[in-house]
Structure 1
């Protein structure tokens, strides 16, 4: 007969229930730390480490909830809270002996963050208004637009059709006016990849207007000279 077969086996229910009760309280408490960390670090997920005299704690959180709480110390690695199986009562007790130190380290971490900003004064300088630059640009480009539209109207009369382009070189730089239905579609300086003084999209930068607006008059003069040549050529024709 085998000794011990008649001996009662002690049930683990009480120990498991007690562990689960403690783990529920730890998970809830660590979850509060996780939510505060998420607020402090400004993200939905992250990891933070806290050193104590007994070891190192790692708290990982996501969506404001604790993903795991790990203790590494006293020669052991213990996942106090995790998405996997719960720790055994012995390792849990070992880790929880240092839990108060974890909370103290966490609180010090938060207080340090408060202290960083506590004495900070922030008085930014006034932001300069772009009104004057925009108004000047619109005023100059409005005059360019009026003149370019007048040129487009003349080109339509001379060339016929509904669209076309006129180009000339000014101080070695190519200027191109594209027109459609008697109005300027765009005015570009510098060929492909150049600066669009006029377009159907965004206006040019003020510096680009400053750099090229002064040569627009020479572009108009080149246009006028070409129109006069055409007129002279036609006048020379006799029927």
Structure 2
């Protein structure tokens, strides 16, 4: 190439072409290391530093793909052999490649160091106890509670409207039944942050049911007593003007 002075100007085409070829081969080769590290470390992203006698090489990966390969010599400036930005300068790349073989050897030794890690780890474990009987018993008790609460909902609908809530205190704890028509919306124990014995989200845990089930009977008795009191009050109401 000739400029305006008639002298030839050196081009970098061959140098950069050669540099890009080396970087491409390293990206492919070190990409295998990134994938293996992702498998070994059990994560979608991470990084690992591998040391040689002359430098520290850092591999960063994400989703199994290499993000960068950094060469940090014991003396001198670091070089990103692979990165998401610009490629390295040819001189820096050459220096890094002089140590690349040692990096691969160190990486292989690193992986080999895990060979005996899982030796002796048990691969047989105790049988798991089935929860089928426990769940069946829980569901049976919940169905009984649901049947009683549904009957309460029907009575509440008759005398207190199409929907609403009935609440009382049992053993110092608030019990609340919400009904909609003749159906139970929920039966909750312990306020807004309490336990739902009945709800649209599923049954309570067996331990919570065991704790609260003994108070279902007093809850129903409290409801019956309140109904009886209301009936007695209504019996005393008279429409006769002379009374």
Task: State the partner residue of 2:86.
Answer: 84
Shift of residue 49, structure 1, vs aligned partner: 1.1
Q: CA 1:175–1:62 in structure 2 vs 1: closer, same or farther (change >3 Å)? A: closer
Q: After superposition, where does 1:131-170 map in structure 2 within 5 Å?
A: 131-157=132-158, 159=159, 161-170=161-170
Shift of residue 50, structure 1, vs aligned partner: 0.9
Q: CA 1:62–1:171 in structure 2 vs 1: closer, same or farther (change >3 Å)? A: closer
Q: CA 1:227–1:101 in structure 2 vs 1: closer, same or farther (change >3 Å)? A: same
> Alpha-carbon deviations, 1:3-41, whole Å to 9, x = none?
xx9998776655555444444333332222222223323
* TM-score normalized by the length of structure 1: 0.79
The count of aligned residue pairs is 233
Shift of residue 141, structure 1, vs aligned partner: 1.6
CA distance in 1, matches of 2:25, 2:109: 22
- The secondary structure found in structure 2 opposite 1:156 is helix
* TM-score normalized by the length of structure 2: 0.78
Cα contact 1:197–1:203 (8 A) shared by 2: yes
Task: State the partner residue of 1:121.
Answer: 122
Shift of residue 104, structure 1, vs aligned partner: 0.6
Q: CA 1:160–1:111 in structure 2 vs 1: closer, same or farther (change >3 Å)? A: same
Q: CA 1:117–1:220 in structure 2 vs 1: closer, same or farther (change >3 Å)? A: same
Task: State the partner residue of 2:216.
Answer: 216
Task: State the partner residue of 1:25.
Answer: 25
Task: State the partner residue of 2:96.
Answer: 95
CA distance in 1, matches of 2:234, 2:67: 87
CA distance in 2, matches of 1:18, 1:185: 74
Shift of residue 209, structure 1, vs aligned partner: 1.4
Shift of residue 231, structure 1, vs aligned partner: 3.8
> Alpha-carbon deviations, 1:183-226, whole Å to 9, x = none?
33322223443322222333222222111211211222222233
Q: CA 1:154–1:25 in structure 2 vs 1: closer, same or farther (change >3 Å)? A: closer
Q: CA 1:233–1:60 in structure 2 vs 1: closer, same or farther (change >3 Å)? A: closer
Cα contact 2:81–2:87 (8 A) shared by 1: no
Gaps of 5+ in 1: none
> Alpha-carbon deviations, 1:38-72, whole Å to 9, x = none?
33233443322111111211223344443332222
Task: State the partner residue of 2:226.
Answer: 226
> Alpha-carbon deviations, 1:94-123, whole Å to 9, x = none?
322222211111111111234323543332
